[in-house]
Amino acid sequence: MQIATRPVDLSGCDFSSQLDPLLQRIYQSRGVATEAELERQLSCLPQPSSMSGISVATSRLVTALKTQQSVMILGDFDADGATSSALMVLALRAMGFSRVDFLVPNRFDYGYGLTPEIVDLAAQQAPQLIITVDNGISSIEGVDRANNLGIDVVITDHHLPGKQLPNAVAIVNPNQQGCEFPSKNLAGVGVAFYLLCALRAELRSQQWFEQQNIPDPNMSAWLDLVALGTVADVVPLDQINRALVYQGLRRIRAGQSRPGIQALLRVAGKNPARLVATDLGFALGPRLNAAGRLDDISLGIQCLLADDDQQALHTAQALDELNQDRKHIEAGMQREALEIVEQLAVDTDNMPPTLCLFQPDWHQGVVGLLASRIKEKYHRPVVAFARGENGELKGSCRSIPGLHIRDALDSVATQNPGLISKFGGHAMAAGLSLEENHLEDFSQAFAKQIERSLSKEDLEARLITDGQLEAEQLTQHTAELLREAGPWGQLFPEPCFEGEFVILQQRIVGEKHLKLVLAAKGQPEKGIDAIWFNIDTAQWPNTGIDRATCVYRLDINEYRGIESLQLMVQHMQPLAL
């Protein structure tokens, strides 16, 4: 493990003297040069009109509203898809749509997106308009099937488009060619939010709400959903996404979130008033995703749609139980995956450039998480496969910095026609399908592509820190300062630091976590609580080590109403006496 410090050059920055010097350093290392780029108010957001296709989509929705057509929301089976579906249903109903419902394909029966099969299922409810959320950009056959049945389709998506686009009435996706929207990083829920904002603006201009004597909906009321979906989908937190997440967090902290989100926080044991973005990604997102991974994401959508606190809590508890089942399944798959990797290489120095893993009984809904865990452990691009239907394998890919995984799949597919049945995704995560008898050929072709794309240095894991803190900066005040300076997340990482510490105490808690008391160099009498999660119990605790270089984050621990500084250790390297 290499430890490196983010470079800082404040010479071209325009920060005021009121901005703390530590924050100046941190922001600049993340590409922020002016305080205007730190603006998190909704007023900083670009107008919806700059997004291609949004005016056509808005016009079609106005027609559907005024003629009270039946509208079906077709979502994806993850947290982004769930929040997108709930947002679209809630907002359309608030604007006066009386015939709007949602449908999510069960991943095990219908696969991903607007397939012809899911269109046929939707057609049983006779919708006149289908709106996709967080999917649809690759649904060429599905849109054709809908058109043949006389059902219009409006696509809202954020995934990268292929060479051919579906023949939909409108496509709203900032990543489609020619779209001038300034951010390409919106999650699916962010794209849906923008379309709904454009629709409300158009209805306002037509005085629809006054004519119908219904309240003009406040779009910010649903920013809790936008924040949850954005963080859970691990999209880059550029300024636009930071503003959306920040405003959503403010509503949740103030107790103004949906009953379903409040219930999810309750079962996760999280204090809403102290919520940060990482809680959305690591506490709420997995519970929503568990429904789509093991059963049906409709349960998660119902939780988010619930208006009754008890109903919301009931569904949240069911989601929590599914998440516990998911953890159990994942743990078994991880053990098997690690055994496979051990057979591939004696040590990490001889590790192949990529890992393609498959076991016949692996759970199709959990292979994405498995790929993430193995990628984190070995710092390699990983593809984990499970059996699907009709002899096909379903694969989930996770990448490392320096490799655009979706583009890598595109190259493999182009150079090997017929090898991959279908694929799609983002820079860091993607999915694919292929015939089981093509697995070995794919593994070899993919490995060759990775060898061409990544250097030996790219395959060496690195921890990037924000340098060292002075001993007097190791305070609860600094932790609060950093906490409020976010939201932190993908490509806008939470600050972490490195430094030398004396280890005063070390003991195991919760089977595999190391509880520590550390003292900063030069202050051996001042102990600071610290914790290191999921340690290697074969190496720690080690009473023979009393000094170490630590990579850590600052956090505030709350216990019985008392708050105190806590270091969240990410890595420790023993120091010789």
- Could you give all domains of the chain from N- to C-terminal order, each with its CATH number? 44-319 (3.90.1640.30), 345-459 (3.10.310.30), 470-574 (2.40.50.460)
The average confidence (pLDDT) of the chain is 93
Buried b (16+ CB within 10 A) or exposed e, 111-140: bbbbbbebbebbbeeebbbbbbbbbbbbbb
Residue 394 pLDDT grade (very low, low, confident, very high; cuts 50, 70, 90) = very high
Residues 31-52, mean pLDDT to the nearest whole number: 94
Mean pLDDT confidence for 362-391:
92
Q: Encode 305-331: b = buried (16+ Cβ within 10 Å), e = exposed.
A: bbeeeebbbebbbbbbebbeebeebbe
The per-residue pLDDT for 577 is 62
Mean pLDDT value of segment 26-35: 95
Per-residue pLDDT band for 360 (boundaries 50, 70, 90) equals very high
Who has greater pLDDT, 345 or 9? 9
Tell me the pLDDT tens digit for each residue of 507-519.
999 888 999 999 9
The answer, yes or no, to whether the previous bond of 353 is cis (omega within 30 of 0) is no
- Place 44 in a pLDDT band, splitting at 50, 70 and 90: very high
CA distance linking residue 320 with residue 266, whole number of Å: 10
The answer to whether residue 61 scores a pLDDT higher than 70 is yes
For residue 68, pLDDT over 80 is answered with yes
In this predicted structure, the answer to whether residue 543 has a pLDDT above a threshold of 90 is no
pLDDT single digits (tens) 325-352: 999 999 999 999 999 998 876 555 678 8
The two structure tokens encoding residue 221: 């009321």
Condensed to tens digits (0 to 9), the pLDDT of residues 412-437 reads: 999 999 999 988 887 888 999 999 99
pLDDT above 90 (res 65)? yes
What is the model's pLDDT at position 122? 95
For range 494-503, the mean pLDDT: 96
Work out the average pLDDT over 23-49: 95
Q: Is the pLDDT of residue 555 over 80?
A: yes
Residue 496: how many CB atoms within 10 A of its CB? 21
pLDDT of amino acid 12: 87
Alpha-carbon distances of 431 from 62, 286, 546, rounded to whole Å:
35, 18, 45
pLDDT at position 415 = 95
Q: Identify the pLDDT of residue 556.
A: 93
CA distances from 404 to 141, 296, 427, 507 (A): 26, 30, 4, 40
Check residue 347 and give its pLDDT.
55
Q: With helix as H, strand as E and coil as C, how does 112-172 read?
A: CCCCHHHHHHHHCCCCCEEEEECCCCCCHHHHHHHHHCCCEEEEECCCCCCCCCCCCCEEE
pLDDT tens per residue across span 179-229: 999 999 999 999 999 999 999 999 999 999 999 999 999 999 999 999 999
Distance CA 482, CA 422 (A): 43
Distances (CA, A) of 547 to 178, 196, 513, 540, 550: 56, 56, 19, 13, 9
pLDDT of residue 351: 82
pLDDT for 522: 78
Give pLDDT, residue 427: 83
pLDDT at 348: 57
